[in-house]
Structure 1
């Protein structure tokens, strides 16, 4: 159960980062490059933490797909 909670929290964390980027892009027209770099690092860190306690179960592919759009 703990692994499931960690995975779910990781999903929420990475999606909130993506929502922040999408909102910024809507307001500014584009996400500043500095933010893109920092958000990518935060997403990678979240995936690293999740992988210690739970299988990623496709979350990494989903998160990386978002990063490819940036």
Structure 2
């Protein structure tokens, strides 16, 4: 009762082949391998993209330039 006999495994194999067909199983495995390769490539692309990213500042600052904030709501004395 603990393990299946050879006849059980043969019946399971026949049912799987009938459901998926003879050529479908290698095709599924090939698609799965392509997916794994694509995932790995995407992970390495993310790592290199972070290293080569430019400075995320949106405002250019020139050295020696003084920035003064003006207060439009201030009243003159």
TM norm structure 1: 0.34
Which structure's relative contact order is higher, taking Cα pairs within 8 Å and 6+ residues apart? 1
How high is the TM-score relative to the length of structure 2? 0.31
